[in-house]
Amino acid sequence: MKIILHWFLRAVAVLITAYLLPGIVVESFFVALVVAVVLGFLNMVVKPILVILTLPINILTLGLFTLVINAGLILLTSTLVEGFLVSSFWWALLFSLILSLVNGILNIFEPKENK
């Protein structure tokens, strides 16, 4: 149940962020669910590989190149998911920044584990 709630909140975050940015289009809630899954998969599998491969430039830019990687993953998600459109790299960069902010706010509604 916790995984489904997490997935649902990530999809809501995608919808909220797309609503705030005119350069991002999400056609439906189902598309937002698919975007949440694809983006989560890319962040889990592809992003660590890209961070390791770009470690020298990441060190040189004091970690700011990670923002470029995030924007690139959002653009890749846009090409993989029908109904999710990102107009440019800059919208993808802004989308990644605002999405992380909205995700942080929505984390308040996730149940915490009792230890």
pLDDT per residue as tens, the chain (115 positions): 788 988 999 999 999 999 999 999 999 999 999 999 999 999 999 999 999 999 999 999 999 999 999 999 999 999 999 999 999 999 999 999 999 999 999 888 787 776 6
Domain boundaries, the chain: 2-109
Global pTM exceeds 0.75: yes
Closest residue by Cα to residue 91 from 75, 113, 69, 112: 75
Q: So what's the pLDDT on residue 110? A: 80
Distance from C-alpha of 52 to C-alpha of 70, rounded to nearest angstrom: 14
